[in-house]
Structures are given as structure tokens and as C-alpha cells.
Amino acid sequence: LMKAEVESVSSDNTVTSGTNGNVQVVVRVRPPSNREKDQGYIKCVGVDSVSHSVTLNYRPQPRTFTFDYVADEVVSQEEIFAAVGKPITDACLQGYHCCLIAYGQTGAGKTFTMEGPDPESNSGNSPGFAAQSKANAKRHEKRGLIPRILEYIFQKMSSEKSQSFKDVEFVVKCSYLQIYNEQVSDLLDPASLNLTIHEDAKSGMYVEGLQEVVVSTAEATYGVFRRGSENRHVGMTAMNMESSRSHSVFTVVVESQRRNEGGVMNRRTSRFYLVDLAGSERQKHSESAGIRLKEAGSINKSLSALGNVIKALVDISEGKIRHVPYRDSKLTFLLKDALGGNSKCTLIANVSPAEKNIDETLSTLKFAQRAKLIHNTAVVNEDMFGNPAVMGEEIRRLRLALAALR
């Protein structure tokens, strides 16, 4: 009975951001590639969208994990946006800092999910927005979360502005950086290397000297994003670097100013981090020598620091520890507010369906499972018994179930 009630809550299939700072965790299984199909790949991952669970045919014992939302290979980009992108963008527009992170091994679908299919060598225009020809229409349909989120942000802003009785102004800015070998560089200004991350008591984390571009349409914002991605690609190729070893962070800042009924100005600023992480796979030693070995070391540093921060946030919510090691890597320091502060965070764990990747898939699912346990103190305070992390989640679910039944 309980289960049915909970399901009725999520029947609209959107990932509800918790009322507290919970990390929402989503798993997406990509379809097999043509090559995998040709080589007779064995599928080892099953998804049950009703119970939100993923089962890995691990031997000797299959492993099942439950998440906030799970998507198998037939789930479209549009559905992913509706379930995952829209709710977090709504939170951003309400004034929350937000963070959307794609995690997973190289080739699991992180960039496809965030951005869309690999850009083909067509005229160099923005593939997310050009939909003139048939081929372009197809690409348009496959555009990922970032272009859709940008469209949605501007659409919502203009519809709020068109309600003329509301006195409202918006300013949108964006920036785009990369972390490679623990060095932060500006993808919008390729000469800007090794930037420093600072913490400001008032405005939170910021990167000194990072270019911020003021934008006024979704197309222009996506154009800035594409330009940064192009710079990233060109820079990486020129230096013989491997882009799967770098983390990229596209940040959209939405500032709004509203006059409320009493005539008082109300200002809000929200930052939305859109993060495409480096591949989570462990480096095989035979593959990493010299420069690559250094890369492997520092990738592991930022990603393992992310794992440690997530673990620490869980332990803190259970009252076990007091310190979160944000400063251990550039990535965790930059995302400090987003991961543990008063912000909405969604992690999308991308996995391959193929048995040959089963170990990496298991490790991704375990990572994602841990992220799901993060709760902030607001939830813990409501609990009087049991494991606060688990009870808090249970109470939240039951409240939602109750609300749906009323």
C-alpha cells in the first residue's frame, strides 16, 4: 500500500527537489552503440521506472539500487529535461543556487545528456537552435539539457515580464571554465590559465579573473557555451590533451529585481552550475605514463575529493563528523556552496548497458547511491528517532504521499 501511495506522488515523473538541500540522484542508461550491437554485446543493466530502481546483473549476486528517477535507453532528451532539467531550473528561477552534475565513465553519455550528440562538422552554427533542414530538426530534437534549460530560463523570464503588473527586471550572465590537472582555465578567454578560486563571505565562491558575459537571449547564451566548447576542443587537441580527463563547468547567473506590493525592491541572485565531469574510470597503469600519468593522478584527485566530500556530507548529517574537506580539490572548492550549502543539486549518473563495463557501472551506481544520502540539518532536526538520514527521507515521502491523497 505504501508503495502505491509513494508512486502516486511521483506519477508526473518529475524529480522533486527536496524542501531542504537534498541531492537528487538520477541514473541514465545509454543505448548500446552500433559497435557494441555488432559485436554482440551483453546487456547487464535493467531499469524499473515504477520503483525507480536499477538492477545490475552482477555475479554471483545481482545488485539493485533505488534512485529519485531512472531512465533507460528509450527515454528521450525531452523526457529527461521534463523530469530533471525543468524542476531544477524552476528552483533557479525562484532564487536558489543550483547545480546539475553529469557523472560517469567516459562514453557513458555525460556530454550527450548535458549538451546533445557530438557536434558534426556542419557550418559551425549552434546545433541546439538551428532547425531548418530535416537533419537539423533531428539534431534539434536530440539537444541536451543545457540548450533546453537556457530556452526555459528565457521563456519563463519573458512570461513573467509580460505580466505587466509585475515590476520585474532580469540580468543573465554566464561563464565557462575547465579544470584540468587541478588548474582552472577560462574557456571563454583561452589565454586565461591557472585562475584562482576564492571564497567571499557575501557572494560565495568565485573565480578571480573569469570572464562573465551578459546575455539577453537563449540563443546568445548557447552561442557562448558553444564558443567555449570549441575553444576547449581546439586547446586540448593543440596540447595533445585528453578532454575526457577534464571537468567543465558552465555557470549561468540569474539576477532578478522585483518590486513587491509594499513598493520595496527585492533582489535575488542565483547561480546555476552545469557540470560535465571527467570520466570516472580508474586509469589502467599501462595506459598512463608521463603526462598522462599526471593527468590520471589529478583527475583522481578532483573526483575522489568529490567522493570524499559527499561521504563527509552524509556523515555530518548523521552527526558523525564536523569537517567537510572542500579544499582538497579545485572542483570541490568551486562547488562548495552547491554541494553542501543552501542549494539544489541534481546528480545524473550515466552508465553503459554493456557487460564489459559492469565494474565501472557498479562503481558509478555506488557513488550515486552515496550522493543520495546527503541531507542537511533542516531534515535532521525534525527527526526524533531512528537514523535521521533515512527517517528524514521517509517523512518527506510520506508527507508527499499524504498531500497527494488529500
Q: Report the interface residues with Mg ion, using CB under 5 A.
A: 110-111
Bridge partners, 343 (sequence order)? 97
Using rule CB under 6 A, residue 49 touches ligand ADP: no
Q: How far is CA 400 from CA 2, 38, 119, 405, in A?
A: 12, 46, 41, 9
Query: Does the annotation place 86 within a ligand binding site?
Result: no
Q: How far is the CB of 78 from ligand ADP (least distance, A)?
A: 12
3-state SS, residue 113: helix
Q: Does 173 engage in binding with ligand ADP (CB under 6 A)?
A: no
End-to-end CA distance of the chain: 16
Q: How far is the CB of 111 from Mg ion (least distance, A)?
A: 3
Q: Which stretch binds ligand ADP (CB under 6 A): 56-64, 106-114, 308-316, 397-405?
A: 106-114
The SS3 assignment for 144 reads coil
Of 118, 120, 200, 208, the one binding ligand ADP by CB under 6 A: 118
Binding segment (CB under 6 A) for ligand ADP, from list 26-34, 181-189, 258-266, 370-378: 26-34
What is the size of the binding site for ligand ADP (CB under 6 A)?
Answer: 15
Among 107, 128, 307, 353, binds ligand ADP (CB under 6 A): 107
Smallest distance, Å, CB 190 to ligand ADP? 21
The Cα–Cα gap between 179 and 219 comes to 25
Element (H, E) at 167: none
Q: Which does 288 bind (CB under 5 to 8 A by kind): ligand ADP, Mg ion, none?
A: none
Residue 248 Cβ vs ligand ADP, minimum distance, rounded to whole Å:
10
Give the alpha-carbon dihedral of 184, 188, 192, 194, to 10 degrees: 0
Stretch in the footprint of ligand ADP (CB under 6 A) among 47-55, 83-91, 110-118, 179-187:
110-118
What is the rounded distance in angstroms from the CA atom of residue 181 to the CA atom of residue 34? 33
CB of 275 to ligand ADP, least distance (A): 12
270 and 254 in contact (C-beta within 8 Å)? yes
Whether 114 and 145 have beta carbons less than 8 Å apart is answered as: yes
Count the neighbouring beta carbons within 10 Å of the beta carbon of residue 303.
22
Task: Rank residues 111 and 175 by Cβ distance to ligand ADP and give the closer one.
Answer: 111
Residue whose C-beta lies closest to ligand ADP: 109
Which x/- pattern over 230-259 shows residues binding ligand ADP (rule: CB under 6 A)? --------------x---------------
User: What DSSP state is assigned to residue 267?
Assistant: E
**Quick check: 119 binds ligand ADP (CB under 6 A)?**
no
Q: Which of 65, 81, 103, 112 binds ligand ADP (CB under 6 A)?
A: 112
Tell me if 30 contacts ligand ADP by CB under 6 A: yes
In angstroms, the Cα distances linking 319 to 100, 312, 391 are 26, 10, 14
Distance CA 336, CA 339 (A): 5
Closest CA to 276 of 385, 116, 97: 116
- Does residue number 103 form part of the binding site for ligand ADP (CB under 6 A)? no
Binding of residue 104 to ligand ADP (CB under 6 A):
yes
| Contact flag: residue 178 with ligand ADP (CB under 6 A) | no
Angle subtended by helix axes 388-405 and 291-317, to nearest 10: 70
- Does the footprint of ligand ADP cover residue 302 (CB under 6 A)? no
Cell numbers describing residue 167:
515590476
Which of these, 182, 195, 178, lies nearest to 300 by C-alpha position?
A: 182
Q: Please select the residue that binds ligand ADP; options are 350, 357, 361, 364, rule is CB under 6 A.
A: 350
Instruction: Quote the least distance from Cβ 299 to ligand ADP, whole Å.
Output: 13
Least distance (Å) between residue 106 CB and ligand ADP: 4
Taking 3-state DSSP, the helix, strand and coil percentages for the chain, each rounded to the nearest 5, stand at 40, 25, 35
Alpha carbon 164 to chain centroid distance? 34
Residues that bind ligand ADP (CB under 6 A): 30-31, 33, 104, 106-112, 117-118, 244, 350
Binding residues: 104-111
Binding residues for ATP: 104-111
